[in-house]
Amino acid sequence: MGVPAGRGLGLRKPARARPWHGGQRPGRSPRQRIGPNGSHLQRMQLVHTVRLGFKGVLWPAMLSQEELESFDFLQWLGTGTLAARQLSCNQATVSRHAIHVQKTLGISLERQLGGTYGIAGDQRLLRLQRQVHQVARLLGRRPMRLHLISGKGHLAMGLPPGWCSNPPYPLEPQVDGAALLDGYVLDACIMQRPQVACLDYQRYCVIELLKSPLFLVANGSHALCHDKGITATDLASQAQLVHLDIIPVATRLATEQLHASLLGGQSQVAVQPEKSAQLADCATSKHVFYVSALGLDWQDRVGVDFGVNYITSDYIVFLRENLEAPGIQLLLDQLRLSLRAAAARLPALSCPM
């Protein structure tokens, strides 16, 4: 038999052409066609979009953990500076990631009153991706997130491994903790009684952490600190209510109403946020302010002999579906230990946990 043409000469038989029925053409994959030196823009388009060949529609794929994390922290903390500090990156990175998330999902961040951000646009894709990323946090792949209200920074000192929290604020922004929990931005949130009163207990799990009576105090130079049996008339004529920077928003609003009712309309209540350091410097100040049992330790605070008869309560709130998650249980155990130690030191405190 003769040798077919081309055999034995190191030549290959030409490949038969295959028909193309639409979609991606035969040959190298899109990643191979880009090559190792492809542009960053080409690679980002490849990673974050999927092309449906029969319609040619671009559909957003999963965002990276870093991108969605930057977007979440920006909405949660309210500023790129705080978000970058928490994520240990620069502010430009946070901004770039947040812009990419907005363009990819067709949404936009909008500044709201109170120093927070809202989201405009269809949030269904964002909600689904945030839910997936929360599962990653519950599995221990990223730090879980706890929101602390003003005056509760001591709870951040004993956080278990795998948890992070917002930095303490001089004046707490109006963060809607329930909405951020429902949107899978937060994993747990510290709230007070007025905030938990309207929650859906089928959606949220609410656990009481701490109960404490409120005390009316002033600095040592105040005339009312040295008298007994102070009446509402004495308060109306000799005292002016102010708020410390460490008092949560819910407590501020409650004490304003409480103080007005105690005075019985005898004097208009003047309310202004004021830092604790300024109170100590005012030797002739008429200011009085409310604190819980945790606030009685300060040396510049002397109790006023006036019955307040108001109990404040702190709660931890998280989604009921995450109740059995190991990270949630670890946080509850750690808070239980630290708060029971505080209650043993201060008899006025009670820890229902």
Summarize the confidence of residues 239-256 as an average pLDDT. Answer: 70
Instruction: Please report whether residue 175 resides in a domain.
Output: yes
Same domain, 251 and 185: no
* Any domain includes 266: yes
CA dist., res. 134 & res. 126, Å (int): 12
Q: Which domain holds residue 197?
A: 143-209+314-353
Q: Do 259 and 304 fall into the same domain?
A: yes
Per-residue confidence band for 67, with pLDDT thresholds at 50, 70 and 90? very high
Which residue shows structure tokens 């979609």?
A: 23
Query: Both 109 and 258 in a single domain?
Result: no
47 inside domain: yes
Please tell me whether residues 99 and 160 are part of one structural domain. no
- Domain-located, residue 162: yes
Looking at the chain, how many residues does it have? Answer: 353
Residue of higher predicted confidence among 258 and 98: 98
CATH number of the domain encompassing residue 87: 1.10.10
CA atoms of 243 and 251, how far apart (whole Å): 10
User: pLDDT class for 61, splitting at 50, 70, 90?
Assistant: low
Read off the pTM.
0.74
234: Cβ contacts below 8 Å, ≥ 6 apart: 224, 227
Considering the domain boundaries, does residue 296 fall inside one? yes
User: Per-residue confidence at 153, pLDDT binned at 50, 70, 90?
Assistant: confident
Q: What distance in Å separates the CA atoms of residue 246 and residue 20, rounded to the nearest whole number? A: 69
188 and 335 co-located in one domain: yes
**134 within domain boundaries:** no
Task: Identify the domain boundary among 90, 121, 152.
Answer: 121
Region of poorest pLDDT, from 79-88, 144-153, 212-221: 212-221
First vs last C-alpha separation in the chain = 93
Cα–Cα–Cα angle for 241, 223, 261, rounded to 5 degrees: 35
Averaged pLDDT for residues 70-98: 93
Task: Tell me 204's DSSP state.
Answer: E
Average confidence (pLDDT) over 178-204? 92
282 — pLDDT class (breaks 50, 70, 90): very low
Same domain, 103 and 154: no
Q: Which contiguous run of DSSP H or E holds residue 88? A: none
Q: What is the pLDDT of residues 217-233, one digit of tens each?
A: 877 667 677 777 777 77
What's the total number of domains in the chain? 3
336 shares a domain with 202: yes
Q: Strand ranges (DSSP E) for the chain?
A: 49-52, 57-60, 108-111, 117-120, 144-147, 163-165, 188-192, 204-213, 215-218, 240-241, 287-291, 302-303, 311-319
Q: What is the CATH number of the domain that holds 223?
A: 3.40.190
